[in-house]
Amino acid sequence: MGKTRILIDTDIGDDVDDALAIALALKSTELEVAGITTVYRNAEMRAQLALQLLHVMGATDIPVATGIGQPIRNKVDSTVIPHQCRNIKTTYPPNCSLHAVELIIATLREDPDTVLVPIGPFTNIAIAAKLAPELFARSRIVAMGGAFGAVYPEYNIMCDPEAANIVLSSGARVEFVGLDVTAQCVLSENEVDRIYHCSGAAERYLCSLMDIWLHTSIAGKVTLHDPLAIAYLVDPGLLNMRSVPVAVEMDGEMTRGLTAVLRTPFRQRQAELEDNARIAVDVNVPKAKEILLSRVFNM
């Protein structure tokens, strides 16, 4: 079977899981990473971090394009330096002259079968969908995002609900690997300890990023949110998926960004609600961890 060509759209720099997801993609022979685009707040610094990661992993031939910092309606401070960028000592010259949105469109144009993998807020993907609707009408998107069956909004959707709504309406085949499923994939203290004892240069580098995350986040643990979207592309049997009608709550004071599965007991209404996405409903946790630990850390 041929490789699956993917483009990763990332908010690398806060949670360490983006770096782990990119590393997993680079270490997976089933995948070909056609490009990396950065999004949300300080997208320039995030691109620097992505370039540093590619440098460490010997993959600087993969284009990295800086994207949009400001969500469509939410207002954020784009000058904030993401925590994980604090150890960037070198300035990495850009290896791509395109804007992220241009790279997304160019990549789809080159090969419409390229799978878009947003693992941050959907701003870049949404603007690309607006500019090139004909490409999105036949494209596939595998996103880390949403929390299904939850009464709270998930971060990636909450940061830019309008963008998520545009992507859902784009006609693309959208698959969500949601927080309710990814949150089950937490590395144990023993697994983190074993990672800290890895000796390779790339492993040590990822370890330094993990260390920053563990010392700056209130979570205090490493959860494989974003890597799970990549692992699913490597091994589709890892997740149980279900087709459902999904809507993004746009206006709720407490629930803006909530991803609602619109199942209703009112039959008349139900007829209007077409399945517009597939969502993960279950994950093989040991297998998900094994994929990441064996490929990225040789464990």
Distance CA 224, CA 231 (A): 10
User: Residue 270: what are its φ and ψ, rounded to 5°?
Assistant: -60, -35
Least CB distance to Ca ion at residue 267 (A): 39
Please pick, among 55, 83, 99, 225, the residue that the annotation labels catalytic: 225
Residue 225 annotated as catalytic = yes
Q: Rule CB under 5 A: choose which of 119, 141, 234, 238 binds Ca ion.
A: 119
11: contact with Ca ion by CB under 5 A: yes
Site for Ca ion, residues 199 to 228, rule: CB under 5 A:
226
- Any idea of the CA torsion for 226, 227, 228, 229, to the nearest 10 degrees? 70
Distance CA 270, CA 17 (A): 37
Task: Give the SS3 label for residue 62.
Answer: coil
Q: Which is nearer to Ca ion, 119 or 126 (CB)?
A: 119
From the list 14-22, 145-153, 167-175, 239-247, the region that binds Ca ion by CB under 5 A is 14-22
154: contact with Ca ion by CB under 5 A: no
Q: Which is nearer to Ca ion, 18 or 160 (CB)?
A: 18
Least CB distance to Ca ion at residue 109 (A): 26
9: contact with Ca ion by CB under 5 A: no
Size of the site for Ca ion (CB under 5 A): 5
User: Residue 143: what are its φ and ψ, rounded to 5°?
Assistant: -115, 145
Q: Tell me if 115 sits within 8 A of 140, measured CB to CB.
A: yes
User: Residue 276: what are its φ and ψ, rounded to 5°?
Assistant: -125, 5
Q: Tell me if 220 sits within 8 A of 130, measured CB to CB.
A: no
Least CB distance to Ca ion at residue 73 (A): 20
Site string for Ca ion, 69-108 (x = CB under 5 A): ----------------------------------------
Least CB distance to Ca ion at residue 76 (A): 15
Distance CA 153, CA 169 (A): 19
Residue whose C-alpha is closest to residue 184's, from 279, 284, 259? 284
Residue whose C-alpha is closest to residue 230's, from 103, 82, 115, 66? 115
Least CB distance to Ca ion at residue 155 (A): 8
Q: Which is nearer to Ca ion, 21 or 238 (CB)?
A: 21
Q: Name 127's Cβ contacts closer than 8 Å, sequence gap at least 6.
A: 68, 101, 163
18: contact with Ca ion by CB under 5 A: yes
From the list 53-61, 112-120, 132-140, 288-296, the region that binds Ca ion by CB under 5 A is 112-120
Least CB distance to Ca ion at residue 225 (A): 7
120: contact with Ca ion by CB under 5 A: yes
Q: Tell me if 278 sits within 8 A of 243, measured CB to CB.
A: yes
Please give the residue ranges that form the binding site for Ca ion (CB under 5 A): 11, 18, 119-120, 226
Residues classed as catalytic: 225
